[in-house]
Amino acid sequence: MPEKFLITGLAKPKAQMTEREYLVALSSYLYFGPARIKLLIDYFGSAKSAYKAEQKSLISIGLKVERVADFIRYRNEFELKSYIDRLKKLKINFLTIKDADYPHNLVDLDSAPPVLYIKGNLEPSDSNSVAIVGTRKMTFYGKEVTEKFTKELSNLGITIVSGLALGVDACAHKACLDEGGRTIAVLASGLDIITPGSNTALAKRIVEGRGALVSEYPLGHPPLRTNFASRNRIISGLSRAVLVIEGAQQSGTLLTASAAAEQGRPVFAVPGQITSPMSAAPLFLIESGAKMATNVMDILEELNMEFSVNHEMMENIMPQTKEERSLSTIITNEPVHLDEIVRISGLNVSDISARLTIMELKGLVKNLGGGIYKRA
């Protein structure tokens, strides 16, 4: 064994660490991803024992000498107390995979992050989440469709998950917040680094509203290109389904769809104009077996979400409003087209579509297809 890689002794004793904190320290050494950390803990019996393991023990389980040497240098320099103090100062919490309130949708995945950093709040209701993802080069059609699905889903109490990127991601977060809904943004960097910088205000709005920023990466870790595929598995993992709005033929959006399929999550795609390059990803997904989504009911029926048939709960989520009463006077027993409803009401299409979906679930109107409605 080359002498230059031999390191004797451990760091000077520090303040007593909890098992949760040892897991934070262990996972902050990023070479040890979720799978390797699980193996280390299974072998040594705890995160503490794995973190404090002697050099010979680490080498004996198959880790390279150079890697072990690097890890020991890292842990000798890692100041946990200072790190925890930074988290508190930035108002960033963390959950470990062994915590009872770790996200239900993630916990059983093979690639679940051992530690999840959170700025804002996660809630039990987030188990009913849908990821909305798509291209950064969003078209006007993509914006309209993103807003339509986001508003309708968020008005049903469904949490919207996305990646805080430009385009579809940011549009979904904004539309959800505009409706007073919950949204979760999953970052490909430490939570002290918001990228793109132009979405810093949006990130702040998510935290101050009813949402959260989430990442598996420790403070200070930059958004490397290789991080985004890993980030995408958390977006899909937090969600019960993934909805793809737009994307080019080689879009990174396909990575999220692929992660969802591997996790057993249904993938939905919104068909677009066949002449648009941004329709390539959704069309490819539909051809490959993804479910086509033209309205929110396609998603709700597939997931069989409990509130899709719970009328009492729907009344609590979306009570009768002035707009609903107005629409009720327009929609009679005779079929009426959406365009006519828009003309008479003076409201915009996306708002009316969202209201009509709620009213349909409440049993107030019936969708006859083709944009035609009648009173139920």
60 shares a domain with 29: yes
206 shares a domain with 64: no
Give the count of domains, the chain.
3
224 shares a domain with 275: yes
Q: Do residues 245 and 283 make contact, with C-beta atoms less than 8 angstroms apart?
A: no
336 shares a domain with 297: no
Residue 309: inside a domain:
no
Phi, psi of 220 (to 5 degrees): 85, -10
282 shares a domain with 156: yes
What is 55-113 written as a DSSP string? HHHHHHTT--HHHHHHHHHHHHH--HHHHHHHHHHTT-EEEETTSTTS-HHHHTSTT--
Residue 345: inside a domain:
yes
pTM above 0.85, yes or no: no
Q: Which of 303, 329, 350 is the last residue of a domain?
A: 303
C-alpha distances (whole Å) from 173 to each of 13, 199, 202, 333 are 45, 11, 8, 37
Three-state DSSP state, 132: strand
Find the CATH number of the domain harbouring 225. 3.40.50.450
Question: Which residues fall within 8 angstroms of residue 4, CB to CB, at 6 or more apart?
Answer: none
223 shares a domain with 117: yes
Residue 41: inside a domain:
yes
359 shares a domain with 214: no
What tens-digit pLDDT sequence spans the chain (376 residues)?
344 444 444 444 455 789 999 999 999 999 999 999 999 999 999 999 999 999 999 999 999 999 999 999 999 999 988 999 999 999 999 999 999 999 999 998 989 999 999 999 999 999 999 999 999 999 999 999 999 999 999 988 899 999 999 999 999 999 999 999 999 999 999 999 999 999 999 999 999 998 999 999 999 999 998 899 899 999 999 999 999 999 998 888 898 999 999 999 999 999 998 889 999 999 999 999 999 999 888 898 888 754 433 344 444 444 467 777 788 888 877 888 988 888 888 888 878 888 888 888 777 888 888 888 888 7
Domain that holds residue 122: 105-303
